[in-house]
Structure 1
Amino acid sequence: MSALIEAEGLTRILPEVVPVTLVEDVTLAIGTREFVAITGPSGSGKSSLLYLLGLLDRPTAGTLRLAGEDTAPMNEAARAAHRLALIGFVFQFHFLLPEFTARENVEIPMRRLGRLPRERSRARAGELLESLGLAGHVDKRPDQLSGGQRQRVAVARALANDPPLVLADEPTGSLDSQSSEQVFAILADLVRERGKTVVAVTHDLELAARMGRRIHLVDGRLVSDERAAGPAPG
């Protein structure tokens, strides 16, 4: 299993009057086709670590390699291009643009990357939405969709550029139990059927226990890294 993410000594300190350490000396490697939960108490640095892994924030110290490439020398434009090509994001709140339809929201990353002609990106957006059970909702705006449907649109958007890595920050945190289970099943399917690596911050320990690996943080430090005995369950 090749390493998709390689972090060594990753540290993030906010330079306040009294400095605040968000992430401290985290070293880990995450391979392809892994389903990883990041857990820990509130304020333990879970989301901060995810943002470092996703190039949404820069570490104060330490190194991060994504798909074998050192991210330290990258300027902001290079980091943005790397994110766009390699990483899909799913957040607790879908962050869909309210004035655009589901299909148009999914098209946005493809249009930014610029690899596909407009006709093909529009078709791919429809295909992704259909694969997530939203065939009848492609032309609806977010306010016309349920919470679970909006989160599935967000997953489709994360997959728009076919990235090898999907990072999710509390993706089921704002959903009811049924919608939460649907979104979890979709994330598991991304690993099992589509060969993605999924790393998800979650406070739901029952869901975390069903993932292939659990990384636990306390006060910004990695205190345990446990793998399931078998493959990640669906």
Structure 2
Amino acid sequence: MSDPALVVETRGITRILQEAVPVTLVRDIELRVTRGEFVSITGPSGSGKSSLLYLLGLLDVPTAGEVLIDGQPTGGLTADDLAAIRLAKLGFVFQFHFLLPEFTVLQNVMLPMQRLGVLSEEKMQSRGLQLLADLDMADQARKRPDQLSGGQRQRVAIARALANDPLVILADEPTGNLDTKNSEIVQDIFGRLVREQGRTVIAVTHEEAFARTTGRNVHLVDGRIEKDVKR
């Protein structure tokens, strides 16, 4: 019987790049993440941190093993099926915000909702404005990304990741392109999402200060989990 608290599970996943000389990105990863956890993934450069996150987020598929999202096996699913799970259940924040420059802040936040196609235009706008307000960005809603600071853009990216009320937020070096002050703001936002809203966050980081703010640390070395510590 599946555990209803379990949101992400991996069963022996391995990812090998089939090149002239095959490259193993991650090997035999067994990981279980439950609702409301704040997990940091750390490790030296080339240890497989981002590769693991991309597998958890169904942006890549394992060579062996399987990823389950909310108890649903994803092995063998079509690209369209995987995209549907990502859209409905996963939110992504990357080091570079990837906001679309031709759209306003609010329009960028609304994009995932428009793709999902569940809410009316009025409700999408209302939800988008509320998400921005929660991150102290409502007064920037009509601006375009190039009118914002780096920290503001990352807050918009977080609002966009929350647009479809995802089961899990996956972040890849979300503070890696920010100064100390804005890095601390983003760290605090993730912490509040977990503490106050019960969100599940899995974040790759090379910053020890960020990793210390999380409730659990998964440390990779050479594509394997060296330690998995709850604080």
- TM-score tier by shorter-chain length is over 0.9
**What SS does the aligned partner of 1:13 have?**
strand
- Displacement of 1:185 in angstroms is 0.5
- 2:22 is aligned to 19
Aligned length: 228
Distance in 2 of aligned mates of 1:8 and 1:219: 18
Could you list the runs of 4 or more consecutive aligned residues of structure 1 that deviate by over 2 angstroms after TM superposition? none
Distance in 1 of aligned mates of 2:191 and 2:212: 13
Unaligned runs of 5+ residues in structure 1 are 229-234
- Displacement of 1:73 in angstroms is 2.7
- 1:232 is aligned to none
Match of 2:33 among 27, 30, 35: 30
- In the alignment, is residue 152 of structure 1 matched against residue 187 of structure 2? no
**What SS does the aligned partner of 2:143 have?**
coil
For the 8 Å contact 2:172–2:204, the answer to whether it is kept is: yes
- Displacement of 1:219 in angstroms is 0.9
- Displacement of 1:182 in angstroms is 0.5
CA distances 1:103-151 after superposition (whole Å, capped 9, x unpaired): 0000000000001011110111111001100121000000000000000
Distance in 2 of aligned mates of 1:163 and 1:6: 16
- 1:162 is aligned to 165
Alignment of 1:38-187 (within 5 A): 38-187=41-190
- 2:227 is aligned to 224
- 2:210 is aligned to 207
CA distances 1:1-36 after superposition (whole Å, capped 9, x unpaired): 821111011110000010000011100100000000
Identity level (%): 59
Q: Provide the alpha-carbon RMSD of the alignment.
A: 0.8
**What SS does the aligned partner of 2:12 have?**
strand
- Displacement of 1:227 in angstroms is 0.4
Distance in 1 of aligned mates of 2:92 and 2:225: 22
**What SS does the aligned partner of 1:191 have?**
helix
**What SS does the aligned partner of 1:81 have?**
helix
Unaligned runs of 5+ residues in structure 2 are none
**What SS does the aligned partner of 1:193 have?**
helix
**Greater Cα shift, 47-56 or 203-212:** 203-212
- Displacement of 1:79 in angstroms is 0.4
**What SS does the aligned partner of 2:7 have?**
strand
Distance in 1 of aligned mates of 2:5 and 2:142: 39
**What SS does the aligned partner of 2:175 have?**
coil
CA distances 1:80-115 after superposition (whole Å, capped 9, x unpaired): 000001000000000000010100000000000001
Distance in 2 of aligned mates of 1:22 and 1:211: 24
- 2:7 is aligned to 4
Distance in 1 of aligned mates of 2:80 and 2:133: 33
- Displacement of 1:47 in angstroms is 0.3
